[in-house]
Amino acid sequence: MRMRSDLRLIPFFADLSDDVILAIEKYCRREHYSRGELVFAEGDFGDRMYIIQSGQVKVISEKNGSERIFSYLNPGNFFGETALLTGEPRNAGVRVVIDSDLISLGRQELQELIERYPNIAVEITRELSRRLTRQIQSPVQQEELNIVAVVGQQAPVLAEQIAKLTGEEVFLFDLGGLGNMPVDQTTLSQEGVQLARGGQNLTADELPARLSSLVQDYFWVILAIPLRPSLLTIKAIDLADVTIQLADAPERWLTQAVTRNFMVVKPEPKRIARLARKIARRQVGLALSSGGARGLAHIGVLEVFERERIPVDMLATASMGSIVGALYAAGASVDEMKQVAQLMQKQTNLLKGFSMWDIGLPPRSGLVRGTKTLDYFRKILQNKNFEDLELPLTVVACDVITGEEVQFDSGPIADAVRASISMIGIFEPPRIGDHFLIDGGTVNPVPTSILKDKRADVIVASSVIPGLSERMHRKEQLKTGKAPNVVAIVMGALEIMESEIIRQRAEAIDVMIQPDVAQFTISDFDRVEEIIQVGREAAQRALPQLRQLLAPQPRAKSYAA
């Protein structure tokens, strides 16, 4: 009798008559799987189909060692029927996301039921049609982080941020983590957060079914868990897609209890907002191009971003972009970056001291040794390592021997920046590890590919490298009858090469910001304010596109039918 009533609660069986339900009941078998277990693997022989009574599973392919997700299935959905009906091997695997109670049917039993009750075949056909439509619209999904366990009383702040970012309702389930802290439920509700307290009264065994129900109605479930371990807390961590401690340092028991996706984030508004973008997959990656003095336009771009509250969650940089990006990632304000630019104007000017350049006599692999430049970078970057930065930063350089791209995201920042700006023939290539390194612009002048690899969700590029057509105005220079000097020749050749690399490698860019820098040369460090201004203007032009991409885009919840 219990099996019969359970079957009636599953939408797949809801419209079937009592005699059909009675017949199905005789053939069904109950099975239970815990989170992470594989119900069956891709390529397995299929001898049973499954109906989800409670829990959640994902349909996956794990070929070539990486997981591709086709769909998430909730209570009322079924899976495994295709191999059962065709006799072919399983075309995908199924792994449990939330502890699941399944009802299974064998091949022979299903065939007998279909022969006796054709309505079952009709229901299967309807569901297959719906599933095919969903897969055509969204063939491969990213792993969802829709159940988030949070230790820390700022859990409501995180829930609010996710609701604002996505435009989707968030369910904040207090499992004792909020304690007696007063929470303004009206304000939370207005922001799209539904709060339920008293979750600490659940048992660990009751939690999976409760979560199974919640994920059908909400894309985001935040579990506010207490700082002390308990059976319920451990179960919540086990079922969560990600566990976060909002604190300065992790609790030891948490580091031992959490086996995947554990983050410790300081409970500061800016960091919580950045965390929300990471969870909601709305991270903004910014690539800053090479370009010599023209790269100062990146400062103008960042100034507009700051003023208009356009977030930046990660940076990838080359050459001059690495100087600006490293300063910004280290927490420098726009005004502080302008001050550095003004100092560079003086220190790269031959008549005013040329103090950043230590000329090598006789020159071997470059005119400038670069020791003074490295010392200068260490000073303005305060001898920081990548691990000390406010924002994740990747700096690009090129191995002059092998031609390979070399990426830096750990260790001393100044050394990486010094390597990334090493223009061919101007600076001696520094040796870092087994690499002799030159300008990152020679291999990846606008490194958006790195942001794609780092899983940025919105990729923005600021490029100050003029295309070949933009260089045509320089024909006016020929009328003077003066040949360009050796530095101008080297820089011009590098610029032509970079523009061609960009043309061939441009990929995965959501917004391209292109300051109008064709009037400037890469050595125009005496035109700081003019160059920064064209960066401001370009960023201002890009704002409508940026705002459209960052606006909430709520999804519609699909339900089993």
Q: Which residues are catalytic?
A: 319, 439
The tokens of 333 are what? 């304000």
Backbone angles phi, psi at 426, to 5 degrees: -95, -55
3-state secondary structure 525-561: HHHHHHHHHHHHHHHHHHHHHHHHHHCCCCCCCCCCC
DSSP string, 140-182: SBPPP--EEEEESTTHHHHHHHHHHHH---EEEEESSTTTT--
Distance CA 69, CA 93 (A): 10
Cα separation values, 210 from 54, 55, 152, Å? 9, 9, 22
Calculate ∠ Cα 105-107-109, nearest 5°. 65
Pick from 365, 312, 314, 361: nearest CA to 334:
312
Contact criterion met (CB below 8 Å) for 280 and 516: no
Determine the residue type at 340. V
Going from the C-alpha of 213 to that of each of 1, 72, 473, 554, the distances in angstroms are 23, 14, 65, 20
H or E segment and range at residue 51: strand 48-61
Question: Is omega for the bond preceding 392 within 30 degrees of 0, making it cis?
Answer: no
Across 354-457, the runs of DSSP E, i.e. the strands, are 366-368, 393-399, 405-408, 425-427, 431-432, 435-438
Cβ atoms 269, 237 nearer than 8 A:
no
Distance (Å, whole) CA 306 – CA 539: 11
> What tokens appear for 265 in the block?
């984030």
Distance CA 486, CA 283 (A): 43
Tokens 């460090």 identify what position? 525
CA 434 to chain centre: 31
Nearest to 325 by CA among 456, 524, 461, 437: 461
CA distance 334 to 409: 23
Using the 8-state DSSP alphabet, how is residue 96 labeled?
Answer: E
